[in-house]
Structure 1
Amino acid sequence: MVLLKTFQQLHYFPDLESVPPEIVDHIRTVMNLGPKAVAQYRQPKTLYRHCAAVRGYLSIHRYYGKEAQRIAVRAAYEAAEVMDQRVDVINATIEELIFRRYELPAFSTLDNIAEAAAATAQDRLYARIDEALTGERRAFLDSLLATDFAHRQSAFQAIKALPKRATRKHLEALLDQLAWLNTLGDVDDPLQHAPASKLRHLGKV
């Protein structure tokens, strides 16, 4: 019963020694069992048999073989296309496996899948942006990194400059910077297919 109830909450079988005693005591109370009833297995074969019985009762598939891996990888790659945080990709993968009635694998397995999916999605995003850049636009971007020795900073650093305290002088400077930014032209075209979450993440880099 401990295996059944913990699986219903966690969607995997925990080490029984890690189950809090309060949970075991509650199950004993509900089932009118005495303190001699413990959540232990002397024979591993009995544990395996009971795990199989729980899977059968709940109609759960073991995370085993190419099909389970394919479902997890596909879910992770689809999530990574629109999410930039690995934990969000992992959660999306977990939700898909639960929806497909699969037992969850070890966290390290989910983490490795999410890491690979995130890296691939990032490479694809960079490739799409790179393909959308014209030669003229590339030259313009390169020019933003050139240092203006008169001001001792590049145009890129000027773009990233944070607004100062709200005074009349600083407000005028901010309006001047806004007018200058408007002269840079349309910079959105190469990014039009990038998800907003990805752009927010890139903006923080």
Structure 2
Amino acid sequence: MTDTDENRLSLMVWLKCCQRLGRFPRLAEIPPQVISHVRDELGLTEDVGMAVVAERTGRNHKALVRARLGLDGDQANARKLADQAIRQAARTKDHPADLINVALEELARNSCEFPAFSTLDDLAAQVGLREG
């Protein structure tokens, strides 16, 4: 699915990160140890680094990862589901971390790609302000 070792490494790092995190982290968020481990597992030499892929290639890689993991990448839908889950949980919970955990569980149950933490944090804060 890729034409260079750098792109293969990038694709596999995105796959492994998305499997664990439920989202695509920014390149700066990925620890070098993770990249090194994936590189070693692929049998690539140390001079192969994470490619800064073209926008089109990045979209293709993310589409491949989403298809492989069965993830829905619709962020508007993910925000809507998270908002609904947080509103419902706010009836019995008031700690933002609890509200965010409920949202994450609902997103995982619906095979949604997770939005950024700041999005969930903002949703929890907004519900807290409306409820309070």
Short-chain TM bin: 0.7 to 0.9
* Structure-2 separation of matches of 1:6 and 1:69: 21
Q: Which has the higher contact order (CA 8 A, sep 6+)?
A: 2
* Structure-1 separation of matches of 2:53 and 2:91: 47
Compute the TM-score of the two structures, normalised by the length of structure 1. 0.55
Q: Is the 8 A contact 1:79 1:92 kept in 2?
A: yes
Compute the TM-score of the two structures, normalised by the length of structure 2. 0.83
SS of 1:115 mapped into structure 2: helix
1:40 matched to 2:51? The reply is yes
Q: Within 5 Å, which residues of 2 pair with 1:1-205? A: 1-65=12-76, 67-122=77-132
Q: CA deviation at 1:38?
A: 1.4
Counterpart in the other structure of 1:125? none
Identical amino acids, percent of aligned pairs? 34
In the alignment of these two chains, the number of paired residues is 121
* Structure-2 separation of matches of 1:119 and 1:80: 11
Q: Is the 8 A contact 1:63 1:104 kept in 2?
A: no
Q: CA deviation at 1:121?
A: 3.5
C-alpha distance 11-101 of structure 1, shift in aligned 2 (>3 A) = same
* Structure-2 separation of matches of 1:30 and 1:36: 15
* Structure-1 separation of matches of 2:54 and 2:90: 42
C-alpha distance 68-18 of structure 1, shift in aligned 2 (>3 A) = closer
Q: Is the 8 A contact 2:85 2:102 kept in 1?
A: yes
* Structure-2 separation of matches of 1:59 and 1:50: 14
The structure whose Rg is larger is 1
* Structure-2 separation of matches of 1:39 and 1:11: 20
Alpha carbon RMSD of aligned pairs, Å?
1.5
SS of 1:108 mapped into structure 2: helix
* Structure-1 separation of matches of 2:89 and 2:114: 17
* Structure-2 separation of matches of 1:42 and 1:97: 28
SS of 2:113 mapped into structure 1: coil
Gaps of 5+ in 1: 123-205
